Amino acid sequence: MVSVPYQEQVAYTEQEPYNAYEDEQVLLKYEVTNALKSTTLKGFDVWAYGEVTVRNLDSETGSFTVKQTITTLNNPSSTQQSSQFIMPSESKIFRQEYDIDMGDDFNINYIVEPGTKTITKQVTKYRTVTKYRSETKYRQEEQCT
């Protein structure tokens, strides 16, 4: 008996990288350029107001929402919100008014909720591929003498 070599194709799998594109939602960039609180008289009523100036730093127009909450010593907190579209590099003033008692101490806090935009980014993903390679194998054969 003699070992005789031969070639055989053997399958195997491998993880192969490839580029893909995915959409992602990101917040628009902005800055608050001014925030103030003050009071004004309307007839015999005292009104507190908050003004927040928001500037769109992004390259896309978007909707921005500003929520303002007033807190006083004598009344429960009250929240109001308003939304506006702001173009790139444009600033808008968000103003909210609250009826308060004369001489009431108050504080106004705000939260800016910027809009979103969709960006497409390249990512590397992997797929399983089947490949083949030659392997040398041996079989036993009878040798005639």
Backbone angles phi, psi at 100, to 5 degrees: -125, 170
**Which helix (H) or strand (E) is 130 found in, with range?**
strand 116-141
CB 96 within 8 A of CB 68: yes
Q: What is the largest CA-CA distance in the chain?
A: 126
Supply 105's token pair. 């101490």
Per-residue pLDDT tens, the chain, 145 aa: give them. 888 999 999 999 999 999 999 999 999 999 999 999 999 988 888 999 999 999 999 999 999 999 999 998 878 899 999 999 999 999 999 999 998 888 888 999 999 999 999 999 999 999 999 999 999 999 898 887 6
Question: What is the C-alpha separation between 75 and 108, in angstroms, rounded?
Answer: 13
pLDDT the model gives residue 145: 67
Sheet holding 62-72, edge to edge: 78-86, 62-72, 106-113
52 CB burial (10 A radius; 0-12, 13-18, 19+) = buried
* pLDDT at position 68: 97
| CATH, domain range 29-114 | 2.60.40.10
- Distance CA(53)–CA(68), nearest Å, equals 12
- What residue spans in the chain does CATH classification 2.60.40.10 cover? 29-114
For residue 57, the model assigns a pLDDT of: 98
